[in-house]
Chains A and B, each alone.
Chain A
Amino acid sequence: MKKAFKLRKPGLLGSPFKILILNFIAWIVGVLWITPFIGIFMTSIRPFREVVIYGWWAFAPFTFTLKNYIDALFNPMFSLGKGILNSFIIAIPSTLIPVSIAALTAYGFARFSLPVKKYLFATILFLMAVPQQMTIIPIFFLLRNLHLLNTYLGLILIHSSWGIPWITFFLRNYFSLLPVELEEAARVDGATDFQVFRKVVLPLALPGLISASVLQFAWVWNDFFFALMLIFDPNKMVVTQMLPRLKGQYQVDWGLLSSGSVIAMLAPLLIYALFNRYYMRGFRGWAMKR
């Protein structure tokens, strides 16, 4: 892996022309990426009329208002607040459960030998490629037979099992980067396999665990498809399900919708910001060492 990074010859990167081109591309991608976001944000903090008449990019009459946010949060028909609460109820266990289970399986794959390990791991990788839409009908019937349709637990179980394969893959690579002597030292010091895992491996793999958790949390939070299929009681709906209901019956209230979107985005954004340090370290470690 180290070699791949040496490909970036210092002279190549140093040439002014190269810097110009790289900057140009980076800026284009960045601007394309952030424009819709700015649009949503601008729409959410201005009266709807102003946006419709002049467009969100116009600054001429600029009225700042929080009305959209207040309406979205305290909508009498569709409570976004309730949706956010539900999202937390789903997303927190749907992160903790698969990360804990996948940490164990990943450690098993990284350090222990079992007869068909290679094939088992290949199967896990293969199953990661299966699209959700292909599995939703059997999942639906499975949950119905278990009487878990339209329950928090049902959706949590589905998200958790969907998360385990990729987190296993992610963490296995992370664990196999850790120096094995530390684990051997712990074994000689008197630790059982599980103590080695809990007292040495887990603390050292913290950046990796946090990276996986942040990704899984954001993924579950942003999920619309599974929630739409498996939850239909308005009191149990998650925030991504609540959002489209804000748009109204006959005309679309873009102001309300965009303020709702911004509110819904806040949770994953805050999580990224909070764990940014670990998250970056987790990925750096994952990508470079070896």
Chain B
Amino acid sequence: MAKGVKIVNIWKIFPPKVVALKNINVEIKPGEFFVILGPSGSGKTTLLRIIAGLEIPTKGKIVIGDKEVVSVEDGVFVEPRDRNIGMVFQNWALYPHMTAYENIAFPLRLKKLPEDEIRKRVKEVAEALGIADLLNRKPAHMSGGQQQRVAVARALVKQPDVLLLDEPFSNLDARIRVTAREFVKELQKKLGITTILVTHDQADAFAVGDRVMVLRRGETQQVGIPEELYNNPANVFIANFIGDPPMNIYKLPTSHKIIKSLDIPSEIGKEYSEVFIGIRPDEAVALEPNNEGHLEGKVVIVEYVGSRRYAKVDVDDGVSLRVLLECNANHGDPVKIKVYKLHVFAPEGKRLTTITY
């Protein structure tokens, strides 16, 4: 039976005064695939290690199912071995002196299960993961993708309540990575196991996550389903961090003519003298100059990303927007830009409004 994970007021301060995590609160539902996304140094791995019990928080508590596994306030600490979690490490951490079979059997051996039960369960999980023919090999004689599957098998074989994955795709080639993501996602859905994955890669996060939490410098920025993070970024950081190609973001005075031509509500102009505006490249188009649009400019570069064409358009001094190109303009040609969706952020970063045209 899948169990949920509650993260309550978690702080982690590394002495003397590096604050790795600042008051993290989140509730992960049973059976959910939850992704913690953040750039390096955001504290995401520290949080995962605290859940695993490899690190002790400075404040706060973690509850798995209805059992407190760590609580600084109540003086509770359950050893990693007693938390019934499975974990896949970034470099997979397979025991190099053991064969794949021995690696997978290791957690069961520690539980002192009878040998034929161990054999049965290792076989089962190995077949499910398609590594049954590798069982006699040592890690040094396996490819990255194979090692990863063995590591996943080792984490799953003891039927854990929660599966923790620390950057499981970062050591894989781009091509294998796509298959590995699908494979992990399918497996998770089939087993219905509560899974927490840590990554710095938004593509990983969006490919597998039911919900994504974005961390930055130890602080939660936003928690939500991928669409929500993309459509309604809570602040400039998320807006900038998520989306590829990245959102066009500029800080402009509210009296600026671009702001004027984008019809931003007048209350915002009264309250702030400067705001950030954000336009996703996929939510604005460059058209022939005789069309209607919000802004005018000159094409600087045309670039192809996949099947789409983007134009970088100089709109004003120091402001150039990357938008979808929907006409035959080339370098130097004038275009009109029609904006479909605009995000406005306060100078300190918080989102004020999103305008759809």
Q: Which residues of A contact B (CB under 8 A)?
A: 179, 181-182, 184-192, 195, 199-200, 203-204
Contacts and interface: CB of A to CB of B under 8 A. Distances in A.
9 contacts: A181-B93, A184-B89, A184-B93, A185-B87, A185-B154, A187-B79, A187-B81, A188-B86, A204-B95
Given A181-B89, A184-B54, A184-B89, A189 B106 contact: yes
Contacts of B79: 187
Nearest to B54: A184
B111 A188 contact: no
B52 interface: yes
Given A188-B53, A204-B95, 17 more contacts: A179-B91, A181-B89, A181-B90, A184-B52, A184-B93, A185-B87, A185-B93, A187-B80, A187-B81, A188-B83, A188-B85, A189-B81, A189-B158, A190-B107, A190-B158, A191-B81, A199-B106
Contacts of A185: 87, 89, 93, 95, 154
Nearest to A195: B110
A192 to B, nearest CB: 7
Contacts of B86: 188
Interface string B127-166: 0000000000000000000000000001000100000000
Interface of B: 52-54, 79-81, 83, 85-87, 89-91, 93, 95-97, 106-107, 110-111, 154, 158
B158 A187 contact: no
Nearest to A200: B95
Contacts of A179: 91, 93
A49 to B, nearest CB: 57
Nearest to A187: B80
A191 B97 CA distance: 17
B107 A189 contact: yes
Contacts of B89: 181, 184-185
B152 to A, nearest CB: 13
A179 B79 CA distance: 20
B93 A182 contact: yes
B81 A203 contact: no
Of B52, B79, B81, most buried by chain A (CB within 10 Å of CB) is B81
A187 B107 contact: no
A179 B97 CA distance: 13
Contacts of A204: 95-97
A105 B291 CA distance: 79
B89 to A, nearest CB: 5
A190 B81 contact: yes
A188 B97 contact: no
A189 B54 contact: no
B196 to A, nearest CB: 13
A116 to B, nearest CB: 17
A187 B96 contact: no
- Which are the 8 A-B pairs with shortest beta-carbon distances? A185-B93, A181-B93, A189-B107, A190-B110, A190-B81, A188-B87, A187-B80, A203-B97
Contacts of A186: 95, 106
Nearest to A185: B93
Contacts of A191: 81, 110
A189 B91 contact: no
A188 B81 contact: yes
Contacts of A195: 110
A204 B139 CA distance: 14
A13 to B, nearest CB: 30
A50 B106 CA distance: 66
A14 B192 CA distance: 62
A98 B81 CA distance: 31
Contacts of A181: 89-91, 93
A278 to B, nearest CB: 13
Contacts of B53: 187-188
A187 B110 contact: no
A192 B112 CA distance: 13
Contacts of A189: 81, 106-107, 110, 154, 158
A255 B134 CA distance: 61
Nearest to B84: A190
A238 B250 CA distance: 85
A184 B91 CA distance: 12
B148 to A, nearest CB: 14
A203 B96 CA distance: 10
A195 B106 CA distance: 11
A189 B158 CA distance: 8
A182 B86 CA distance: 14
